[in-house]
């Protein structure tokens, strides 16, 4: 009875994932596809938690559905001209259409090839008895890792190299965003209801981020989920029309953005000096070191994601008055709708 | 007894979700659709949460569930107002 019910639920989940993905791809209105993509991410998060992977589910909901959706919506907002015309395809010249079709087909082919390879790998995996050498190895060494959540143990201790490089990728990305120049003034000030919501939502988001960071040591959570939640506070502030989205100013911002990689490297090098392997924490110190690294990583991830959302370097402090006048100067139809 | 009560609450919650979804699909304009969606779903989630909270092992879990409902109430009230405001300004008047 219960198994049949769960099977039914899983079937529904699968059908919704595939149909939401299809609807998001097939929609010609960019905003509609982004919103469908966010719904797709949320359903995917439910699927991850059904697969007993709550860490991935949290990351998918916070980063995949929430922040990526916000980024895509902001990108779609910036070029409304193409969105408005559903018939844009008929207007553009043939060379462009040809390129579009070529791009679309090559992406489709690549995706099909990837799906085929994954299906082949899965089929292969199902043919063999399940190998639990990795979970057993983690369980055998979890005491030495300093945390009791196996996912955090892998991310911050056993495979800390990978996480360090991921943070380096984020740092590189934010350098690219900084190269885009200064950010646009942003949205007009929020109405009373959204302003009121912002006033209590932002502190709650900050609190939740701290909780996720702390709880990551022994339950699902950690720096990436916490950073995404903290960044969501910045996104809310930006949407509410605040010029300051909670980012520190000037050089301090650069320090915060580099903090993840810097603290990671400092810890690793200090351990090298002390005669241990690079990032090979002594078991007695592992818990504290992981918390320090994760705190720095959370701040860096949050700052990076907020900078990505505002789409450029934040304006210096003096720019507040400028931006106000900028907003006032063009209250045209773009500001209205 | 507890099982019966929680089943009744959950089924009632699902009924409101169903009503809200049908309203979202069938009602003619954006304002009545918003009304159906946010009002009915808020009530549906509330009943659902109470139905689940009865089964909770301790008070803390029940309070966490309640917190989820309160957060959703605030979010859906604010987003309904914002969507309606935008629609009033830019698209159609009721």
Question: How many Å apart are CA B43 and CA A270, to the nearest integer?
Answer: 56
Q: Tell me phi and psi for residue B80, to 5 degrees.
A: -60, -45
Residue in the block written with tokens 């490089």: A165
Q: What pTM was estimated for this model as a whole?
A: 0.82
pLDDT of residue A336: 53
State pLDDT tens for residues A187-207.
Answer: 788 888 888 889 889 999 999
Burial of A289 (0-12, 13-18, 19+ CB in 10 A): buried
Whether A336 and chain B come into contact, CB under 8 Å, resolves to: yes
Share of chain A above pLDDT 70, in %: 88
Per 3-state DSSP, chain A is made up of helix, strand and coil in percentages (nearest 5) of: 80, 0, 20
Mutation for B interface: A77, A193, A219, most B CBs within 10 A = A193
Closest to A305 (Cα-Cα) out of A237, A208, A215 = A237
* Sequence ranges of the domains in chain B: 2-90
Question: How many Å apart are CA A70 and CA A310, to the nearest integer?
Answer: 10
Cβ-Cβ contacts under 8 Å, A337 against chain B: 86, 89-90
Which residue from B minimizes the CA distance to A334?
B90
Q: How far is CA A27 from CA A100, A112, A128, A315, A337, in A?
A: 16, 20, 40, 36, 21
Q: What is the ipTM of this complex?
A: 0.82
pLDDT of residue A261: 93
For chains A and B, what is the number of CB pairs under 8 angstroms? 21
Residue in the block written with tokens 């596809």: A33
State pLDDT tens for residues A94-126.
Answer: 556 788 889 989 998 999 999 999 999 888 887
**HSE (CB half, 13 Å, CA atoms) of A86?**
6
Task: Report residue A120 as tokens.
Answer: 């082949």
Whether A197 and chain B come into contact, CB under 8 Å, resolves to: yes
Task: Report residue A22 as tokens.
Answer: 């299809």
What is the residue-wise DSSP string for A120-153?
Answer: HHHHHHHHSPPP-HHHHHHHHHHHHHS-S-HHHH
B94: confidence class by pLDDT, cuts 50, 70, 90:
low
Q: Contacts from A111-116 at CB under 8 Å and sequence distance 24+?
A: none
A332: confidence class by pLDDT, cuts 50, 70, 90:
very low
């Amino acid at each position: 009875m219960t198994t049949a019910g769960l099977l039914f639920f899983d079937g529904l989940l699968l059908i919704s994932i595939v149909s939401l993905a299809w609807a998001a791809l097939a929609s010609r209105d960019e905003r509609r596809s982004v919103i469908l993509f966010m719904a797709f991410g949320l359903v995917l998060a439910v699927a991850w938690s059904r697969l007993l992977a709550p860490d991935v589910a949290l990351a998918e909901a916070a980063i995949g559905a929430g922040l990526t959706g916000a980024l895509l919506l902001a990108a779609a907002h910036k070029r409304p001209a193409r969105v408005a015309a559903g018939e844009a395809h008929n207007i553009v010249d043939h060379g462009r259409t040809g390129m579009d079709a070529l791009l679309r087909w090559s992406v489709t082919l690549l995706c099909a090839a990837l799906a085929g390879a994954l299906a082949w790998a899965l089929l292969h995996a199902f043919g063999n008895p399940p190998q639990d050498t990795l979970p057993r190895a983690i369980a055998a060494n979890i005491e030495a890792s300093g945390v009791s959540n196996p996912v955090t143990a892998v991310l911050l201790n056993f495979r800390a190299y990978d996480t360090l490089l991921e943070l380096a990728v984020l740092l590189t990305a934010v350098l690219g965003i900084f190269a885009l120049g200064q950010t646009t003034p942003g949205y007009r000030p929020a109405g009373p209801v959204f302003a009121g919501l912002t006033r209590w939502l932002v502190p709650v988001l900050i609190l939740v981020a701290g909780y996720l960071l702390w709880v990551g040591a022994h339950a699902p959570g950690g720096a990436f989920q916490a950073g995404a939640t903290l960044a969501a506070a910045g996104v809310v502030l930006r949407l509410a029309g605040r010029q300051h989205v909670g980012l520190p100013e000037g050089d301090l911002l650069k320090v915060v953005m580099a903090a993840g990689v810097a603290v990671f490297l400092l810890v690793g090098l200090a351990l090298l000096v002390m005669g241990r392997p690079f990032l090979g924490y002594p078991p007695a110190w592992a818990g504290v070191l992981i918390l320090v690294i994760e705190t720095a990583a959370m701040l860096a991830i949050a700052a990076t994601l907020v900078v990505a959302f505002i789409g450029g370097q934040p304006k210096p402090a003096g720019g507040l008055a400028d931006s106000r006048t900028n907003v006032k100067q063009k209250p045209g139809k773009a500001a209205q709708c | 007894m507890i099982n019966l009560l929680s089943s009744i609450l959950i089924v009632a919650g699902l009924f409101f979700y169903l009503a809200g979804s049908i309203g979202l699909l069938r009602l003619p304009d954006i304002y009545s659709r918003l009304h159906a969606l946010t009002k009915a779903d808020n009530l549906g989630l509330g009943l659902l949460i109470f139905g689940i909270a009865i089964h909770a092992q301790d008070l803390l879990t029940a309070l966490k569930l309640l917190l989820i409902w309160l957060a959703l109430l605030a979010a859906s009230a604010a987003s309904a107002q914002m969507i309606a405001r935008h629609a009033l300004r830019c698209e159609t008047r009721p």
